[in-house]
Structure 1
């Protein structure tokens, strides 16, 4: 599952381009533990490898995140999904969509790709069960035809996981 091709999306603004170049430079100098940026020439779409933290249900497991940046990043949150197969987690749907408030309602331009990654790893690390969200099957039916997670009206009610 991937979002629309970059060629069908709007080009990054000058502010977004400058910010992302700065974030890449910072990432290369000090990458967050447990993450590897797969270097490409595409500034608008990053692929990031995630390794589960030691002592958690996901220890040594690897997953891939796809981060797509909108034209007006960082004023608008990036779209972040797990490339299937997504980890079994109560807040991660089979198609890789992530129910995490900072990706939607609680986004702030002060956040970065690194801070998002750390939040996702924290979410994975705090899980006590490897299972899909209770409404996974229903959500998957709604998401046919490549629906973006940004089109979902998320209900953030469970802060235990």
Structure 2
């Protein structure tokens, strides 16, 4: 990956992302594909739903935007295209998952984030949108980062 947009990233972020890319190439999370891009701060990741879940046979794409202070700050991770129908995933692709916000740790990597998202999908007990999907999507203007949302994490069953 080339790094023309790396000037938007701090030096620590650039080093960390370069290390994560090498680790991904050597040991990718099972079932995930990192699509090369010329912008180190933006990743596109593809994966399929687990075979023993509601999402078997479905294909998904994540868009990742890394902040200047990554890994001290969490990346913005959203579903692109047609997001899965899930109680913690809004129809605009925003994901209500605590590790992407309040519970982020600099020890986490994009590989661990991907595994967490797949685990969240695989443990779904029903295939439906969040109860407040329509209201949230309507009030969440196009282009608004999910990191600007004040999330409430109270349901770990879905």
Give TM-score, length-normalised by structure 1: 0.92
**What corresponds to 1:115 in structure 2?**
112
1:145 and 2:142 correspond: yes
In the TM superposition, what whole-angstrom CA distance separates every residue of 1:108-149 from its partner, at most 9, and x where no partner exists? 000000000000000000012111000000001111232110
CA distance in 1, matches of 2:106, 2:72: 5
The answer as to whether partners of 2:125 and 2:157 remain within 8 angstroms in 1 is: no
Q: Shift in Å at residue 10 of structure 1?
A: 7.0
Unaligned runs of 5+ in 2: none
The answer as to whether partners of 1:89 and 1:131 remain within 8 angstroms in 2 is: yes
CA distance in 1, matches of 2:57, 2:82: 16
- Choose which of 107, 118, 131 in structure 1 pairs with 2:128: 131
The answer as to whether partners of 1:84 and 1:94 remain within 8 angstroms in 2 is: no
Aligned CA distance change for structure 1 residues 10 and 91 (closer, same or farther; 3 Å): farther
Structure 1 residue runs of 4 or more that deviate by more than 2 Å after TM superposition: none
**What corresponds to 1:63 in structure 2?**
60
Q: Which moved more, 1:56-65 or 1:95-104?
A: 56-65
- SS of 1:48's partner is strand
Unaligned runs of 5+ in 1: 1-5
**What corresponds to 2:11 in structure 1?**
14
- SS of 2:60's partner is strand
Q: Shift in Å at residue 84 of structure 1?
A: 2.6
Aligned CA distance change for structure 1 residues 10 and 93 (closer, same or farther; 3 Å): farther
- SS of 1:98's partner is coil
Q: Give the count of matched residue pairs.
A: 155
- SS of 2:33's partner is strand
Q: Shift in Å at residue 60 of structure 1?
A: 2.5
CA distance in 1, matches of 2:31, 2:157: 22
- Choose which of 27, 39, 43 in structure 1 pairs with 2:40: 43
Aligned counterparts, 1:64-103, within 5 A: 64-103=61-100
